[in-house]
């Protein structure tokens, strides 16, 4: 029997490593390529190869792991496909910094050697995030781990590019794109992060050719005027209907530019005049196309002014702005300057302010692909959960712009396009062509740009399973069952996977998309290094153990609501893990064998009740996990374990377990205890895999890993788990009586060891019968000397009361409490408390304190005031009760 005993305390770190190694060695995460089992699959949102585990990763992967462990227990053939993304810009930046520290750069080492260096870096450091996911308990099929730059995925990328090009859905053209002068690459609209900045609106006068007046325009970027090719006004703007001129003079450049009229111009903004710079603004670019305007590129790819900028050539764009403003002021053409707050785009990698720039790039024609992606959600082929994200998804797809997929960096999938140097023919092919298809020249040069990282990750659900080969894995697991993702990549990734999956596989890539919220700090603020409120998951795991951390994330992961994370909350769930451990340790002391079958004879009330409650929680957890309500599933099992199994059932079952109620009762209670503990561990396993596995192996009668156990509702041995409303109602009555007596003991400050006399008066025969039949349980758990149930009558002298439904509880205090002495004690405590409360109230009434103190300090004072006020109220109530009892 000693072999199944648990250590006195739960030490997570040794347990976690041992069981994770066991799971991997036993191949318990492995999916079968072909199986008669129902298929369930998830593709991991591939973390960047440069990444480290943060709270967003932790929440996302804990949710996926809960689903995968749950579905394995339901008997499914589960594939959780892992992998990492090559993260083009981010990874290139990391290696470029290494080269800079060595006194060189990528241009000096050359493209080929640079790519070799990146692969070396990936081999040495790229697995960090994977190892951290394993610390989290992620049960991915690691034998299938993929990388967006591995050979198979590269083949898929080339195949997709060539097909889309042949279908005229990929094209090359000049277009305004977002350009990062620091990273020297184009960025998709989604890769631009907008930030509200304090800026200015500059009013600049564009004179008429004869010098008589002019039109004033308002702009936030005066340096771009050097690339202006027109001035636009609204055709219905009365101010400009009869101006008598078709041209204005472009200040500083001193050349004539036309006045164009277009309804795009907002007559209500600024002066109603709009400078048109087709090479440096996406809206101006469209205006330029409509009016056949030339595009003058005044700002180069390096963020410096070009030859087109005249005497400002070579200046950095910010230096140029200062110079332009000074010259405009000197020429009395700077009319006024107004402060302005406006949104400015920054590179999502290096946070440099981006430059809208005219550039020749490769694009995907997105509209035809987007229509089918919208239709799939509208018809329910793919469900977005919660539904609130559907409109956001539709809105983006309805207004989608062509997707710029070329990047001017070296790390990534080099675009499979070659230009013939002799005839300028462009050849797009999956394999390197031997000669030009037009003139047969061998003088071919491959496109130097690489594809946007999101292009390869858009193929992730099917490229990871072997496409373009029609593999058994693809047949078994595509479309995948669920995608768990954050809302921030709903467009970056989810919508693009939908477009590519439908186009190339003829089916949606996933049936459900579960969109989780953000993890914020305990005050609801977004975590960031600059504010110093970042909580490191690995530090939390090291301090409290993985299970406590995972359970915290699940418990607060309500649909559509951000998770407020704090170390205190994780500490609270560490107490829950300890509570479970201690309950299991006590239980195992009484379980010398496996009690597979529960006796058919009538069970005690507590045994019937706990089995009924177990049945209820099994159903609730199942329903909640099937509908992605992680917090409800975690909350249900938490309530059951702590408040029903530990607090009530184990206490009520002790007399039977210790043999005080006879051998039959002992055998029945042990059988019930064994069953309840076993199924509880299974319910907990998706949330707390390590502690549940450790206890599982100590429980007699278990075989193999808990991961291979059947979910309780699928186990035919669980026939005895019957939901019984009658036993639950009866037990609720008993709990109410015991709780009422305990509350009196607490309010009256009576020692727990002191046995009391109590009685219940009720006219309800059913309650009276229940109480009498469970008298021993009440006496034992309420620590009483005597207990009776009787019809309503006179109130006993010197008795404290508690009221429950249809009954009144009386606890005799005669000889137990010196009422006069207790009243003095309470009065003294109230006086002391009132002094403290006065001091706190003064602070809250001090306007100076409220205005100057930090928000968190004020909040703590308010919380303290609330706690003291509640305590004061309770003491007053108790004093009144004592004084009443003293009179009686």
Q: State both tokens at 378.
A: 């509208």
At a CB cut-off of 8 Å and minimum separation 6, what does 541 contact? 135, 136, 549
3-class secondary structure, 158: helix
Q: Which residue has the tokens 């889309």?
A: 164
Spatial CB neighbours of 510, under 8 Å, sequence gap ≥ 6: 43, 382, 461, 479, 480, 481, 482, 483, 497
What letter does residue 835 receive in the DSSP assignment?
H
φ, ψ at 800 (rounded to 5°): -80, 150
Answer yes or no: are the C-beta atoms of 701 and 596 closer than 8 Å.
Answer: yes
Strand order in the sheet with 417-420: 426-428, 417-420, 444-446
Local structure of residue 425 (DSSP, 8 states): -
Token pair for 26? 């036993």
Of 465, 477, 496, which Cα lies nearest the Cα of 152? Answer: 465
Do residues 275 and 293 lie in contact, with contact meaning Cβ atoms separated by under 8 Å? no
* Nearby residues of 56 by Cβ (< 8 Å), 6 or more positions away: 486, 518, 519
| Residue 734 near residue 777 (C-beta atoms within 8 A) | yes
| Tokens 């943060």, residue located | 54
The burial of 607, by beta-carbon neighbours within 10 Å (0-12 exposed, 13-18 middle, 19 or more buried), is given as buried
Q: 417-420 and 444-446 as β-strands: parallel, antiparallel, unpaired?
A: antiparallel
- Residue 301 CA to residue 355 CA, distance in Å, equals 9
The residue assigned the tokens 């109530």 is 877
Q: Taking a C-beta distance cutoff of 8 angstroms, is the pair 381, 498 a contact?
A: no
529 labeled part of a ligand binding site: yes
Extended strands (E) in 334-469: 334-347, 355-364, 383-385, 403-404, 406-407, 417-420, 426-428, 444-446, 450-451
Q: What is the 3-state secondary structure (H, E, C) of 432-474?
A: CCCCCCCCCCCCEEECCCEECHHHHHCCHHHHCCCCCCCCHHH
Residue 824 CA to residue 818 CA, distance in Å, equals 10
Residue appearing with tokens 């894995």: 473
Determine the Cα–Cα distance for residues 347 and 182; give it in Å rounded to an integer: 9
Would you say 655 and 580 are in contact if contact means Cβ atoms under 8 Å apart? no
Tell me how far apart the alpha carbons of residues 601 and 594 are, in angstroms, rounded to a whole number. 19
User: Alpha-carbon distance 411 to 89, whole Å?
Assistant: 8
Give the CA angle between residues 325, 326, 330 to the nearest 5°. Answer: 115
**Backbone phi and psi for residue 696, each to the nearest 5 degrees, phi listed first:** -50, -45
Binding-site positions read 529
Binding-site positions for ATP read 529
């Amino acid at each position: 029997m000693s072999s199944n005993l648990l250590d006195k305390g739960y030490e997570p770190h040794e347990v976690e490593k041992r069981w994770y190694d066991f799971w991997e060695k036993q191949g318990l995460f492995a999916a079968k390529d072909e199986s008669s089992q129902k298929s369930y699959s998830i593709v991991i949102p591939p973390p960047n190869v440069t990444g480290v585990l943060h709270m967003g990763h932790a929440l996302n992967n804990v949710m996926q792991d809960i689903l995968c462990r749950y579905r394995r227990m339901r008997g499914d053939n589960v594939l959780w496909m892992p992998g990492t993304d090559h993260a083009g810009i981010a990874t290139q930046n990391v290696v470029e910094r290494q080269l800079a520290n060595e006194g060189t750069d990528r241009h000096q080492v050359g493209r080929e050697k640079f790519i070799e260096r990146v692969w070396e870096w990936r081999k040495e450091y790229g697995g960090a995030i994977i190892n951290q996911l394993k610390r989290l308990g992620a049960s991915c099929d690691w034998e299938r781990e993929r990388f967006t730059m591995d050979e198979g995925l590269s083949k898929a990328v080339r195949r997709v590019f060539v097909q889309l090009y042949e279908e005229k859905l990929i094209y090359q053209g000049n277009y305004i794109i977002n350009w990062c002068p620091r990273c020297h690459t184009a960025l998709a609209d989604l890769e631009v992060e907008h930030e509200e900045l304090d800026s200015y609106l500059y009013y600049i006068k564009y004179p008429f050719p004869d010098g008589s007046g002019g039109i004033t325009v308002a702009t936030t970027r005066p340096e771009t005027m050097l690339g202006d090719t027109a001035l636009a006004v609204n055709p219905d703007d009365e101010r400009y209907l009869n101006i008598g001129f078709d041209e204005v003079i472009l200040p500083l450049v001193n050349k004539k530019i036309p006045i164009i009229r277009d309804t795009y111009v907002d007559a209500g903004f600024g002066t109603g005049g709009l400078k048109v710079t087709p090479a440096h603004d996406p809206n101006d670019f469209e205006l330029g196309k409509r009016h056949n305007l030339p595009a003058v590129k005044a700002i180069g790819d390096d963020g410096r002014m070009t030859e087109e900028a005249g005497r400002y050539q070579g200046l950095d764009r910010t230096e140029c702005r200062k110079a332009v403003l000074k010259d405009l002021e000197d020429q009395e053409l700077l009319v006024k300057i107004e402060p302005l707050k406006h949104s400015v785009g920054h590179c999502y990698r290096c946070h440099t302010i981006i430059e809208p720039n005219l550039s020749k790039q490769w694009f995907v024609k997105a509209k035809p692909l987007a229509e089918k992606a919208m239709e799939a959600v509208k018809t329910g082929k793919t469900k977005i959960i919660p539904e609130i994200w559907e409109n956001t998804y539709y809105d983006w797809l309805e207004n989608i712009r062509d997707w710029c997929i070329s990047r001017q960096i070296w790390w990534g999938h080099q675009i499979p396009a070659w230009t013939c140097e002799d005839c300028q023919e462009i050849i797009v092919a999956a394999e390197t062509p031997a000669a030009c298809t037009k003139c047969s020249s061998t003088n071919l040069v491959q496109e130097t740009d690489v594809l946007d990282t999101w292009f390869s990750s858009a193929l992730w659900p099917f490229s990871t399973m072997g496409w373009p080969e029609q593999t058994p894995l693809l047949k078994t697991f595509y479309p995948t069952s669920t995608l768990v993702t954050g809302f921030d990549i709903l467009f970056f990734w989810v919508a693009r996977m939908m477009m590519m999956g439908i186009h190339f596989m003829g089916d949606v890539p996933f049936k459900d998309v579960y969109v989780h919220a953000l993890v914020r700090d305990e005050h609801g603020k977004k975590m960031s290094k600059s504010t110093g409120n970042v909580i490191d998951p690995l530090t939390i795991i090291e301090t409290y153990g993985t299970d406590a951390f995972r359970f915290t994330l699940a418990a607060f992961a309500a649909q559509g609501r951000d998770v407020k994370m704090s170390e205190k909350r994780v500490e609270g769930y560490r107490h829950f893990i300890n509570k479970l451990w201690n309950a299991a340790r006590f239980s195992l002391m009484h379980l010398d064998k496996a009690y597979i079958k529960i006796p058919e004879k009538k069970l005690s009330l507590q045994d019937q009740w706990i089995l009924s409650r177990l049945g209820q929680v099994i159903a609730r957890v199942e329903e909640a996990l099937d509908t992605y309500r992680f917090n409800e599933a975690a909350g249900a099992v938490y309530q059951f374990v702590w408040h029903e199994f530990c607090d009530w059932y184990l206490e009520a079952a002790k007399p039977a377990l210790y043999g005080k109620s006879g051998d039959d009762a002992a055998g029945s209670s042990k059988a019930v205890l064994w069953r309840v503990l076993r199924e509880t561990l299974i319910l907990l396993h998706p949330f707390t895999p390590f502690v549940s596995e450790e206890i599982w192996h100590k429980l007699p009668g278990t075989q193999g890993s808990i991961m291979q156990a059947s979910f309780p509702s699928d186990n035919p041995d669980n026939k005895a788990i019957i939901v019984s409303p009658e036993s639950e109602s009866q037990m609720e009555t008993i709990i109410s009586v015991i709780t009422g007596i305990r509350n009196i003991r607490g309010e009256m400050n009576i020692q727990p060891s002191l046995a009391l006399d109590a009685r219940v008066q009720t006219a309800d025969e059913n309650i009276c019968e229940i109480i009498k039949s469970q008298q021993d349980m009440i006496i034992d758990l309420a620590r009483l000397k005597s207990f009776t149930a009787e019809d309503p009558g006179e109130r006993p002298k010197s008795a404290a009361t508690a009221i429950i439904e249809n009954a009144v509880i009386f606890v005799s205090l005669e000889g137990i409490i010196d009422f006069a002495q207790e009243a003095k004690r309470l009065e003294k405590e109230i006086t002391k408390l009132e002094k403290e409360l006065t001091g706190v109230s003064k602070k809250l009434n001090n306007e100076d304190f409220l205005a100057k103190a930090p928000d968190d300090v004020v909040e703590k004072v308010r919380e303290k005031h609330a706690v003291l006020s509640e305590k004061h109220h309770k003491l007053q109530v108790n004093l009144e009760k004592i004084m009443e009892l003293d009179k009686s």
